[in-house]
Amino acid sequence: MSLFDIKDKMDELVGELNQHTYNYYVLAMPTIADFEFDKKLEELNRLELEYPDLADPNSPTQKVGGDITKSFITVNHRWPMLSLGNTYNEQDLRDFDDRIRKTIGDSFEYVCELKFDGLSISLTYEDNKLIRAVTRGDGSKGDDVTTNVKTLNKIPHRLKAGDAPPVFEIRGEIFMHRAAFNRLNREREELGEIQYANPRNFAAGTIKMQDSGEVAKRPLDCFLYSLNTDKNYFKTHWDSLQGLKEWGFKISNDTRLVNGIDDVLAFIDHWNNERFKLSYDIDGIVIKVNSYAQQQELGFTAKSPRWAISYKYKAQEVETLLERVTYQVGRTGAVTPVANLRPVQLAGTTVKRATLHNANEIERLDLHEGDSVFVEKGGEIIPKITNVNLDKRHDGAERIIYPIDCPECGSHLIRKDGEVAFYCPNDEGCPPQIIGKIQHFIGRKAMNIDGLGDETIETFYKKGLVEHISDLYLLKDKADELKTIERFGERSIENMMQGIEQSKQMPFEKVLFGLGIRYVGETVAKKLAFGVKNIDNLMGATFEELITIDEIGQRIAESITEYFSKSEHIDQINQLKVFGLQFQIQENEIALQSEKLTGKTFVISGVFENYSREELKELIESNGGKILSGISAKLNYLLAGENMGPSKHDKAKKLNVPFISEDDLFEMLK
């Protein structure tokens, strides 16, 4: 592979992982199994280690995961909420144990905890009163959901009189019991609403509702498992759990203090089967070094503690009948096969459908009509077919052949060299693509149009109100038709119109991302916008000119030139120009605040108290500085926050690169 191809692959993985992270933490609607996510993350991490100069400084490998929801006040975590490293096998655990022993010796204990499958929460208490509840968010800051959390009767608002410190933070997991989940999902089905995929999604979705009265109606539960204070109030994690019990917090009775890795493995083996007898979901076991002093000695990586790890259970597998294969067409035209199954119980839920990914997967499985297939739930979320029971295949069963034409519009499908997915090229005439494109355009990371949602767009399309993005800006002339739509009153219409009008002020890079050009994600759209300055320059750019723009590779450039070669797309952009959307960078966006950092290069690493890394990046660039992707002899400064990566730290030290803090940076700008 050429460096261009490798960079494209890394960009693709970054885009996929960021989207899946957003789906999981913010939307509470994951579309990929944990195992598949971890494999993609491992692949990206391997490529970044092999090609450090190509690595994105904001790569998902450097992030805890999660995002901030605009509906709530954002609060900085006093102590970052880091994620844990994951493993699925015994050898990784033994390697983890060996690393611990090499650092702190053989005298230590582990605490084994169930890994609850819910929503991480941080609770702050002052003078024995609950004053704040915050979600994990991006690890350094999260959403303030205090009002909603106070509806949970399992979380004390006021502690018993005791010896708790005056200020402390306790962390845990909010979850929903399976019985409650099934009951509430049945109610949603009766109302014709989309059902949640699993209890974790339902719990996360509930905590992020705007109506705390509705939250109070839903039976959520919570286990607490971690204490943070300015000074270690206890000597060990185990002692802190016992203290939390005495203060009135709900702590799992299944947590165990053990002496070595063999005891850890026995604990894991026990819960491999027993977990299905629980009334709630767990997806693994968390292992922590018990002593706080030893935890401090072991320290942290950029995104996780070195003294803890999580073991995830492999998916449960069952056998059932393949009834038929259907095909879904996505926003970009990708055609995904779906296996429709005879309903079967798997990991506590009824499975009726499973993903088949692409044509290669159908061929790999050699699927035939009526096959008996083995199904597993990867990461307890999305079912998939892993194999076929050939002994049960009927004589004369017809082989399943991936279609050559789009199942929605009949257009001939195409597949480009080096890709596994087939695409429908009829993006302006294929209904699912049209609907998906408009849904993407109104989304939070694009035009962020309040008052419009995915279901509304689908309804508008079916009623002939919208067929193109530009049609959204003509809805103001169709008020009488809108009023005839069920559950769409004057207030809803007014909010929608206001949201559409406000979207005209969204900056060029947001509009460009909203167009939905294949491979042009949020970051690429920003690079393009600032690289070409306006849409006319982009439409007229040649392939050779595009690949000279920072981070624009061959595949992205090809996609852009192909997109603007279609007259339908040019017509849409011309109409959007007439409606007043922003198709050029505003002068104040590209003007330098000063030239105080001109000629100076920076790398940003770690977690910062007052600003996000993106905010610091913008601050440096707006004052003439340049951000580099990695540590080298050309680097002038390493802007270092807390928990920065040890490899960057050591390399910078070796090259005598100066370390600076947030305060040092602002001193330079005075």
DSSP state of 399: B
Q: Are 461 and 505 in contact (CB under 8 A)?
A: no
What's the CA gap between 350 and 218, in Å, rounded? 22
Among the listed residues 3, 4, 2, the one whose alpha carbon sits nearest the alpha carbon of residue 556: 4
Among the listed residues 426, 328, 362, the one whose alpha carbon sits nearest the alpha carbon of residue 31: 328
* Backbone torsions φ then ψ of 227, nearest 5 degrees: -115, 135
Strand 659-660, strand 637-640: pairing: parallel
What's the CA gap between 137 and 539, in Å, rounded? 37
What's the CA gap between 224 and 172, in Å, rounded? 4
Look-up: residue for tokens 């800051």? 141
Q: Measured in whole angstroms, how far is the alpha carbon of residue 329 from the centre of its chain?
A: 22
The residues with which 134 forms a beta bridge, in sequence order, are 122, 144
Helix, strand or coil, per DSSP, at residue 24: helix
* Backbone torsions φ then ψ of 611, nearest 5 degrees: -135, 155
* Cα Rg of the chain (Å, integer): 26
Amino acid at 95: D
Q: Is 483 a catalytic residue?
A: no
Q: Which of 7, 40, 63, 115 is catalytic?
A: 115
Give the chain's length. Answer: 670
Look-up: residue for tokens 């970052």? 80
Among the listed residues 135, 126, 133, 134, the one whose alpha carbon sits nearest the alpha carbon of residue 158: 126
* DSSP state string for 492-541: HHHHHHHHHHHGGGS-HHHHHHHTT-TT--HHHHHHHHHHHSBHHHHHH-
What's the CA gap between 653 and 651, in Å, rounded? 5
> Between the CA atoms of 371, 376, 378 and 379, what dihedral angle is there, to the nearest 10 degrees?
160
Helix, strand or coil, per DSSP, at residue 628: coil
* DSSP state string for 370-393: T-EEEEEEETTTEEEEEEE-GGGP
List CB contacts of 225: < 8 A, sequence separation 6 or more. Answer: 113, 171, 172, 173, 241, 251, 252, 255, 286
List CB contacts of 40: < 8 A, sequence separation 6 or more. Answer: 13, 16, 17, 20
With 0-12 / 13-18 / 19 or more C-beta atoms within 10 angstroms meaning exposed / middle / buried, residue 150 is middle
The neighbour count for residue 475, using CB atoms within 10 Å, is 18
DSSP state of 654: H
Among the listed residues 199, 207, 69, 205, the one whose alpha carbon sits nearest the alpha carbon of residue 151: 207
Which residues are part of the catalytic machinery? Answer: 115
